[in-house]
Amino acid sequence: MEISTDKVAREAIEAISERIKNLKTLNIIVAGKTGVGKSTLINAVFREKLAETGMGKPVTEHMRKLTKKDVPLAIYDTRGFELGKDVQAQVKQEVLDTINEGLATKDINQTIHCIWYCINTASNRVEPEEIEWIRELTKEKQVTKVPIIIVLTQSFSKKNADALRKMLLEENLNVLQVIPVLAEDYDIDDEYTAKAFGLDVLIKVMGESLPDELMDTLQNVQIVSLAEKRKRARAAIATATTLAITEATIPIPVADAAALVPTQIAMIASITAIFGFEVNKSVITALLSSTIGSSGATILGRTVVAEVAKLLPGAGTIAGTAISATTAGVITTALGEAYLGILSLVFSGEMVLDDLSTKKGKSKMKELFQNALKKPLKDEN
Ligand SMILES: Nc1nc2c(ncn2[C@@H]2O[C@H](COP(=O)(O)OP(=O)(O)O)[C@@H](O)[C@H]2O)c(=O)[nH]1
Ligand SMILES: [Mg+2]
């Protein structure tokens, strides 16, 4: 069975846009006094600089909803905490109303999934009203359904952050975690710069509290933890590999490598959604041609098996056109690993997306693919 890489690439691009279109929307309320660093935090954690586009859309007197086209995320930026007790009470009511309205829709795209309450470590004090506010808020039964994370912003002094964290933990508030962060590097003086930290912890902790339906969304929108993206992508590779092995076990006439293409397309779509990159057809074509489509412009089932057989130590026994279950699994894993590896390099800035369809990108993908082909069998020995 012969399929052109061009056709597969086109189908992959369609699958990717479908996958991204179907991501559920993650909704977060970010609360705290003006100046604590909410906008800086939001822009550092999520792609597309969500807090930079003007003011967002007002949803209540003290709350604005920040969204951006093609980003499955809504941030409710809450202000007014610095304006005294009366306004704080109003804000609390607005938060409760927003949560209730979301719950009433019974639609995951409309419900509030997490609240970040931001306190500025650098200000060196928490007002008792703020603690009281959190305490009251977490007593409301609507809110008990929404996890709250206290984010200690501008924690360039880790010593102060630790002290504040300890103090807050002793208050026994009903919150998920108290997490010190520094969203952007901070110049302490001419000689010393405190490096940004903690944002990956924030993503990890929030991720543990979110429903499974929002896991791909979270990875799609966050830009601070490569480890979390890789973990999620590895799960997609494992799923596809298991499916490929099952498919290769079914005795159908076309049980060659080409029969695995739909499964592999779904895997590529998942990994792309997790990274949140705008991947075009030339990238996918390059990926295919430097891995499973190694012989020219076609993905030829038997050729892939033969090529892989050359690379797999002790795999010379693969007979006929039927692809063995092991080979199906190995090829699928290796393709996933090659794609994951190259996107990881883009994430960490060692390559740019445009590199991927060049000679440099292709030879890197080929190397990643071949390394991955050898690895699973080695591990079994
Ligand atoms: N270097 C550095 N500056 C920060 C950080 N967080 C906030 N700031 C600064 O603190 C000020 C207020 O931050 P902003 O995000 O506008 O606070 P908001 O009113 O809560 O949205 C701005 O001048 C930011 O540049 C940080 O993590 N690192
Ligand atoms: Mg702001």
Would you place residue 329 in the very low, low, confident or very high pLDDT band (cuts 50, 70, 90)? confident
Query: Is the model's pLDDT at 361 over the cut of 90?
Result: yes
Protein residues with CB under 6 Å of any ligand 1 atom: 34-40, 153-154, 182-184, 186
Query: Is the model's pLDDT at 258 over the cut of 90?
Result: no
How far is the centre of ligand 2, averaged over its atoms, from the C-alpha of 119 (Å)?
13
How far is the centre of ligand 2, averaged over its atoms, from the C-alpha of 39 (Å)?
4
| Nearest ligand for residue 37 CA | 1
Substitution site in 40, 41, 45, 121 for ligand 1 pocket (most atoms within 8 Å of beta carbon):
40
pLDDT number for residue 310: 60
Would you place residue 254 in the very low, low, confident or very high pLDDT band (cuts 50, 70, 90)? very low
Kindly give the number of the ligand 1 atom that is closest to the alpha carbon of 181. Answer: 27
Kindly tell me the burial class for residue 235, based on how many C-beta atoms sit within 10 Å of its own C-beta (0-12, 13-18, 19 or more): middle
- Domains of the chain (ranges; CATH) run 2-19+225-380 (no CATH), 32-221 (3.40.50.300)
- Residue 241: name the closest of 275, 211, 271 by CA: 271
d(C-alpha 212, C-alpha 210), whole Å = 6
Report pTM: 0.91
How far is the centre of ligand 1, averaged over its atoms, from the C-alpha of 195 (Å)?
14
In this prediction, residues 336-346 reach a mean pLDDT of 97
Query: Is the model's pLDDT at 262 over the cut of 70?
Result: yes
Query: Is the model's pLDDT at 338 over the cut of 90?
Result: yes
Query: Is the model's pLDDT at 305 over the cut of 70?
Result: no
d(C-alpha 348, C-alpha 215), whole Å = 21
d(C-alpha 235, C-alpha 174), whole Å = 31
Would you place residue 252 in the very low, low, confident or very high pLDDT band (cuts 50, 70, 90)? low
pLDDT, tens digit, 9 for 90 and up, residues 172-185: 999 999 999 999 99
pLDDT, tens digit, 9 for 90 and up, residues 125-170: 788 888 888 888 888 776 667 999 999 999 999 999 999 999 999 9
